[in-house]
Structure 1
Amino acid sequence: MVIAACVVNFHRAVGLLVISLVTIFFLVWDWMMERYGEQVWEALAPIRDLLSRNWLLVAVVCWLALDTAQRGTRQLVSFFGLLLFVFLTLLFSKHPFRWSWQTLVFGTGLQFIFGLLILRTTFGLGALRWLGNKAEVYTQIYLNTHTSFFYITNILLIVDSLQVMPILVFLSSVISMLYYIGFMAWLICKIGFIMQVTMGTSPAESMAANSPLLIRPYISELTLSEIHAVMTGGFASISGTILGAYISFGVDATHLLTATVMSAPASLAIAKMFWPETIVSRSNRPVKMDKGESKNLLEAASLGASRAIALVASVLANIIAFMALLSFFDAVLSWLGGMFDCPQLSFSLICSYVFMPLSFMMGVSFEDSFIVAELMGIKTFLSEFVAFQKLSELINRRKAGGPEYVNNVKQYISVSFIHVLTISLLIFSSFPIWFSLGQYPQIHVVVEQSSVQSLANTTSTVRCQSIGQVTPVNFPSAIFLLNTRGWYIHIYLHQTVLVQM
């Protein structure tokens, strides 16, 4: 079939050909690992020892310094921001002198390598744009086909929030089918294996950085450090269903996919720096994957759609509630500000000043850093869906070609910084997921310990990484997470930036 498609139209069949070749490669790899896995693992021992040497950290830091220095002062701001945030992470570490250099270096290195492969190479950037374009086209076709089912009372009025709901149900069903046939577990195992070899983490931690729910049977065997890594990976990742919802808001799928790929090693590195392992892990045995509760493919599709009901209700309720809360807070603050001749005071304005230093350290220009900070604050304290709706408004204003300033207030941000804003809002805070993994005492201990450290030391675990320059457009991008649910306060900032010239 692939050969026939290439004969008919090779240019059109390039994507299918690449997918087929990659599939064949991994099938051969799986066949070899099944028969010679132990020998391969033993053969990798010298490489693992080499990766654990501390001198690699010096080489990475020197390379980043030289690389960013060639591109101007804004890149140096991002680089020194990286050093500052890593220092703060180590300063507030639970065991400041027990963390592993290997995890730090190669957590950063893997994120850097992913960025190079995806955004610095013509093939990587082209492949990602191809995937992003296909995802956007597919989402829009499905969206336009199904939104006609939604009405408010008897008026043909389609609410923007409701347009996301069919996508959530559909993608949940598709992903459930992919889990049943074993594709998702297979893909996650491959990524987890790379992280395990390079970063020296346990199999369960490596799997959880990509999909926390896959290691549910192993939760009772995890150490406190490993549970902390699992929780961090859950905070720093989003599901494919939510990714589809964000695309439906009009957000560029290419940048969302970029951040999704880079977040796994970065979140695991931060978790192991903040809470290093001090005892021998009990979960070093390989993680076994299963197909779940489904008996066949159709049942998997049905269960996936059923599981989306709670997600759809949660998303819709959050959008309604937090949009109303935002309006309420703005009205109250405007009333209070009017007492002091400052009626423009609002929740968004406060957030723009509070988070401005963080956005500036990410490499955003001074003028645009206030807008980026404003949406970061809305995402942090209210809802990521509300923030994405605000981002959609900024994108539409720019596309409409209106004035950049109205009454000295900037209406949208530069094209190069839409990326940093897009990816900084990406992370979906999923703290309640961890209580569905099992009621184990260790989870409550982690939450309590994090609460004490957060309140006593105002713990901020911040991380940023300068990746390089993307071609043909240079842009900074970041992955930002601040979660305050259950007094669990952490700030995770990954400067995946692709620096602005």
Structure 2
Amino acid sequence: MSWLQLQSGFGLLALALIAWVVGGCRRPVPWRMVIAGLLLQVALGAALLHIPVLRAGFAWLGDAVGALSTATQAGTSLVFGYLGGAPLPFAETRPDASFVLFFQGLPLVLVVGALSAVLYHWRILPLVVRGLSRLLRGAFGLSGACGFSVAANVFVGMVEAPLLIRAWLARLSLSELFIVMTAGLATIAGNMMVVYASILSPVVPDVAGQLLVASLVSAPASVLVGALMRPPQPGADQQVLVAEDALAPRLYDSTMEAVVRGTADGLQLLLGVMASLIVFVALVALVNMALEPITGWTLQGLVGMVFRPIAWLMGVPDEHIPAIGASLGIKTVLNEFIAYLELAGSGGLGLDARSRLILTYALCGFSNFGSVGIMLAGMTGMCPERRSDIVRLGMPALLAANIACCMTGAVVGLLTYPQ
């Protein structure tokens, strides 16, 4: 084992300690949760990264993403012409000069949204989520509703997963509510996973499988960090026990309805992503216009400085720490979409293969200010009686989710030998 791997292992333990310290709660943390959280992250990562059969599945996932991208381009070319990827009626002056994100990249959300709805209707997605839920409940002792929501976050968004347990949200303990919120911000939805895989494929090998592993490992990481920052209160936490079938109700009457409604939901997400990108990039630009002449720093640059020690804890070589800290700052202040675009557009930011992989894992989560607003609006609408708790836990959940994502980066650093 190399020094950098040992550095990642130390960083994994240090991040757990940081989570406990910044949580500010001095109630005893159940050792079962701490040990299970650390072991489950490493075991999942080791199995998915180093077992040949599972590794072979990464290549299949990459082919599937490529097929989805090609199929989507057929539709966008028909609707948008050369803006959507059809042959250009003019000479391209530089590589990728004709790429328009809204017309060529984002429509993939529509196709994946429809496919996700069909897989849910066919009971394939609930079956996979139920298996992950049982694993989390057995390892951490979570209630059925909390475990199901955390597992669902591997595949659906930060609002959709709590929506699946809407009837039980009001009965969750404060600790489990915090875990649900942290998991929502520490993972990404399946449709965005496919979009990011298509963007990152030139700079990260087997990226579709890597993003899936990152989201899977982040599930136990978010439970661990959530429990460290908000430990369960003995005797006060309620175990919300529900029938598993009730946690995945049938949402569609037919496959065709699933396609139509899944497409509509995907359109809403696509427009939301577009609006968020425009608004948050504009707002940060305004802040930077005021901040940079006075301090010489941008907002994301300042936040990136805070992440530099965290980058070291993930096991990154010293020469790559500034670039990775800056990228994590962009993710937190803006969003992971822009951070991934920069990673892909600059040829990997000059990082070596291991550092690019660590950064890919650490960026794999909705842990940014805009997502907190989206989650708070969605969850308070679902459960108005817990509005004060949900709003109070919003910013701590953002901090917890960023720690969980960096834990996931440390895990892949621990398991990947430097080249």
- Shorter-chain TM range is 0.7 to 0.9
Sort the Cα spacing of 1:322 and 1:92 in 2 relative to 1 into closer, same or farther, 3 A: closer
Contact 1:322–1:386 (Cα < 8 Å) also in 2? no
Contact 1:82–1:495 (Cα < 8 Å) also in 2? yes
What is aligned with 2:92? Answer: none
1:390 aligns with 2:319: no
CA radius of gyration, larger in: 1
1:118 aligns with 2:48: yes
- Read off the aligned partner of 1:138 and give its amino acid letter: A
The Cα RMSD (Å) is: 2.9
1:40-76 Cα deviation digits (max 9, x unpaired) = xxxxxxxxxxxxxxxxxxxxxxxxxxxxxxx232223
- Read off the aligned partner of 1:124 and give its amino acid letter: L
Residue 177 of structure 1: how far off its partner (Å): 1.1
Give 1:29-108 correspondences, 5 Å limit: 71-93=1-23, 95-108=25-38
Contact 2:166–2:383 (Cα < 8 Å) also in 1? no
Contact 1:223–1:281 (Cα < 8 Å) also in 2? yes
Contact 2:117–2:262 (Cα < 8 Å) also in 1? yes
| Cα distance between partner residues in 2 of 1:449 and 1:132 | 36
Give 1:123-162 correspondences, 5 Å limit: 123-127=53-57, 129-148=58-77, 149-150=79-80, 158-162=99-103
Match of 2:147 among 185, 198, 206: 206
Contact 1:227–1:443 (Cα < 8 Å) also in 2? no
Sort the Cα spacing of 1:388 and 1:290 in 2 relative to 1 into closer, same or farther, 3 A: same
Residue 449 of structure 1: how far off its partner (Å): 5.6
What is aligned with 1:283? Answer: 240
Contact 2:143–2:239 (Cα < 8 Å) also in 1? no
What is aligned with 1:436? Answer: 378
What is aligned with 1:301? Answer: 259
| Cα distance between partner residues in 1 of 2:253 and 2:186 | 31
Residue 328 of structure 1: how far off its partner (Å): 5.0
1:215 aligns with 2:165: yes
1:253-275 Cα deviation digits (max 9, x unpaired) = 12211102211111112212221
1:177 aligns with 2:115: no
Sort the Cα spacing of 1:394 and 1:229 in 2 relative to 1 into closer, same or farther, 3 A: same
| Cα distance between partner residues in 2 of 1:256 and 1:461 | 16
Query: Mind listing any 5+ residue stretches in structure 2 that lack a counterpart?
Result: 90-97, 153-160, 202-206
1:164 aligns with 2:105: yes
* Range with greater deviation from structure 2 (254-263 or 81-90): 81-90
- Read off the aligned partner of 2:386 and give its amino acid letter: Q
1:371 aligns with 2:315: no
Sort the Cα spacing of 1:93 and 1:351 in 2 relative to 1 into closer, same or farther, 3 A: closer
What is aligned with 1:30? Answer: none
What is aligned with 1:31? Answer: none
Contact 2:313–2:410 (Cα < 8 Å) also in 1? no
Residue 96 of structure 1: how far off its partner (Å): 2.5
Contact 2:307–2:328 (Cα < 8 Å) also in 1? yes
- In structure 2, the residue corresponding to 1:496 is in which secondary structure? helix
- Read off the aligned partner of 2:241 and give its amino acid letter: N
| Cα distance between partner residues in 2 of 1:272 and 1:416 | 30
Contact 1:181–1:291 (Cα < 8 Å) also in 2? no
What is aligned with 2:389? Answer: 445
Contact 2:335–2:366 (Cα < 8 Å) also in 1? no
| Cα distance between partner residues in 2 of 1:177 and 1:379 | 31
1:262 aligns with 2:217: yes
Contact 2:185–2:401 (Cα < 8 Å) also in 1? no
| Cα distance between partner residues in 2 of 1:305 and 1:250 | 24
With normalisation by structure 1, the TM-score equals 0.69
Match of 1:249 among 185, 199, 217: 199
Residue 86 of structure 1: how far off its partner (Å): 1.6
How many residue pairs match? The answer is: 380
Residue 168 of structure 1: how far off its partner (Å): 0.5
Contact 1:182–1:291 (Cα < 8 Å) also in 2? no
Contact 2:300–2:333 (Cα < 8 Å) also in 1? no
- In structure 1, the residue corresponding to 2:165 is in which secondary structure? helix
Residue 321 of structure 1: how far off its partner (Å): 3.2
| Cα distance between partner residues in 1 of 2:151 and 2:417 | 29
Residue 390 of structure 1: how far off its partner (Å): 0.7
Match of 1:496 among 401, 411, 415: 411
Contact 1:142–1:167 (Cα < 8 Å) also in 2? no
- Read off the aligned partner of 2:50 and give its amino acid letter: R
- Read off the aligned partner of 1:195 and give its amino acid letter: L
With normalisation by structure 2, the TM-score equals 0.81
Give 1:412-431 correspondences, 5 Å limit: 412-429=350-367, 430-431=371-372
What is aligned with 2:93? Answer: none
Structure with the greater relative contact order (CA < 8 A, sep ≥ 6): 1 or 2? Answer: 2
| Cα distance between partner residues in 2 of 1:168 and 1:441 | 33
Contact 2:376–2:394 (Cα < 8 Å) also in 1? no
Sort the Cα spacing of 1:333 and 1:143 in 2 relative to 1 into closer, same or farther, 3 A: farther
| Cα distance between partner residues in 1 of 2:62 and 2:48 | 15
Between the aligned residues of both structures, percent identity stands at 23
Residue 229 of structure 1: how far off its partner (Å): 1.3
- In structure 1, the residue corresponding to 2:26 is in which secondary structure? coil
* Range with greater deviation from structure 2 (97-106 or 133-142): 133-142
Sort the Cα spacing of 1:393 and 1:297 in 2 relative to 1 into closer, same or farther, 3 A: same
Match of 1:316 among 246, 255, 274: 274
Sort the Cα spacing of 1:293 and 1:144 in 2 relative to 1 into closer, same or farther, 3 A: closer
- Read off the aligned partner of 1:314 and give its amino acid letter: G
What is aligned with 2:39? Answer: 109
| Cα distance between partner residues in 1 of 2:73 and 2:399 | 45
What is aligned with 1:62? Answer: none
